């Protein structure tokens, strides 16, 4: 299993735990928590769907999809590392900015959401470009 | 990787690109307040990523790696039918984001997806049973 896959899988497990923790906190009958986490529904879903499931798939794909001759010879995962970095930076910015943007209009958090969306979108596109040639027969 | 898997996985990647694009548009719109109508893309965003990307990727990888029966990957016509129904369902559900045709397309889309899942299960079942004896 290549290192990029191990890092993807370990990170995805951290997001699984974080997502489930947030999900638990969201349903606890504690008034202060309910107020504090009122804008966190989308973050909860995306920690699980992007942070856990998508990242798990991205990592396993790097491991099990047939390698191109270039990868066989050089073992490079440069684009995969860029995807990993962008996906996680974008998701973390979203997790921080979205509840704040929803609770107070204006300020820096709205533009931060737009930046987060651009970063995550770029990660998705790089993954597609990187993995496309590997969807092939052996 | 067999041609069925190559086709479905490539289609899944196309849906991943489309789904990420809609998601990015909606998230940026949430932050910058471009147009409230963009929030209506949520059903298409979910359909593209949950069924078009995840579901179709699972079909492609399952067809590829599930145990073979007598050296064959089960019934190819069943697997192809499942993929066609899934793509039809995703397109219909995606179209349901357009409010003007929502009423008709959403139930037809989910019915196609349900039929697709059933047909793929019929395809995969004998291959899973074959795995039990190993």
Q: Are A94 and B31 in contact (CB under 8 A)?
A: no
Smallest CA–CA distance, residue B124 to chain A, in Å, is 21
Domain boundaries along the sequence of chain B: 3-132
Tell the residue number behind the tokens 């958090």, with chain if given.
A109
ipTM over 0.90: yes
Note whether B54 contacts A113, CB cutoff 8 Å: no
Q: pLDDT tens digits for B69-115?
A: 988 999 999 999 999 999 999 999 988 877 666 677 889 999 999 99
Q: Which chain A positions have a beta carbon within 8 Å of B3's beta carbon?
A: 137
Give the helix ranges, DSSP H, for B1-134.
Answer: 3-32, 42-47, 56-65, 76-95, 102-132
A132 to chain B, any CB pair closer than 8 A? The answer is: yes
pLDDT > 90 fraction of chain B, expressed in percent and rounded: 78
Q: Which chain B positions have a beta carbon within 8 Å of A112's beta carbon?
A: 31
Q: pLDDT tens digits for B48-69?
A: 999 999 999 999 999 999 999 9
Q: pLDDT tens digits for A96-123?
A: 999 999 887 778 999 999 999 999 999 9
Out of A53, A66, A112, the one facing B31 most closely (by C-beta) is A112
Q: Which chain A positions have a beta carbon within 8 Å of B24's beta carbon?
A: 117-118, 120-121
Q: Are B52 and B11 in contact (CB under 8 A)?
A: yes
Question: How many interface pairs between A and B have CB atoms less than 8 angstroms apart?
Answer: 71
The pLDDT assigned to A132 comes to: 95
Model confidence, pTM = 0.93
Q: Are B9 and A135 in contact (CB under 8 A)?
A: yes
Q: How confident is the model at residue B127 (pLDDT cuts 50, 70, 90)?
A: very high
Note whether A125 contacts B17, CB cutoff 8 Å: yes
The pLDDT assigned to B17 comes to: 98
Q: Low-confidence residues of chain A, pLDDT below 70?
A: 70-75
Note whether B10 contacts A125, CB cutoff 8 Å: no
**Strand partners for B69:** B72
The pLDDT assigned to B61 comes to: 97
Out of B10, B31, B49, the one facing A114 most closely (by C-beta) is B31
Torsion sign over Cα B54, B59, B64, B67: positive
The pLDDT assigned to A79 comes to: 95
Q: pLDDT tens digits for B40-49?
A: 899 999 999 9
Q: What three-state secondary structure class fits B72?
A: strand
Separation between Cα atoms, residue A2 and residue A65, nearest integer Å: 12
Q: Within 10 A of B71 (CB to CB), how many other CB atoms are there?
A: 5
Work out the end-to-end distance of chain A between its first and last CA atoms, rounded to an integer number of angstroms: 18
The pLDDT assigned to A36 comes to: 86
């Amino acid at each position: 299993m290549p290192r990029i896959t191990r890092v993807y899988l370990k990170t995805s497990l951290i997001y699984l735990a974080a997502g489930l923790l947030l999900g638990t906190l969201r349903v606890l009958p504690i008034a202060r928590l309910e107020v504090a986490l009122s804008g966190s529904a989308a973050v909860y879903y995306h920690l699980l769907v992007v942070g856990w499931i998508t990242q798990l798939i991205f990592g396993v794909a790097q491991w099990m999809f047939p390698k191109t001759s270039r990868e066989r010879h050089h073992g490079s995962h440069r684009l995969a590392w860029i995807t990993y970095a962008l996906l996680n930076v974008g998701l973390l910015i979203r997790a921080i900015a979205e509840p704040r943007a929803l609770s107070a209009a204006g300020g820096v958090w709205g533009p931060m959401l737009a930046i987060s969306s651009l970063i995550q979108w770029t990660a998705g596109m790089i993954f597609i470009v990187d993995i496309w040639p590997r969807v092939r027969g052996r | 990787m067999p041609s069925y898997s190559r086709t479905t996985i490539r289609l899944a990647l196309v849906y991943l690109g489309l789904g990420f694009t809609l998601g990015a548009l909606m998230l940026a719109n949430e932050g910058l307040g471009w147009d409230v109508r963009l929030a209506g893309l949520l059903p298409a965003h979910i359909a593209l990523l949950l069924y078009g990307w995840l579901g179709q990727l699972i079909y492609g990888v399952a067809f590829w790696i599930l145990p073979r029966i007598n050296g064959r990957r089960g019934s190819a016509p069943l697997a192809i039918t499942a993929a066609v129904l899934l793509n039809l369902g995703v397109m219909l559900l995606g179209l349901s984001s357009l409010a003007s045709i929502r009423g008709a397309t959403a139930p037809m889309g989910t019915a196609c997806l349900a039929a697709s899942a059933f047909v793929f299960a019929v395809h995969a079942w004998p291959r899973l049973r074959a795995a039990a004896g190993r």
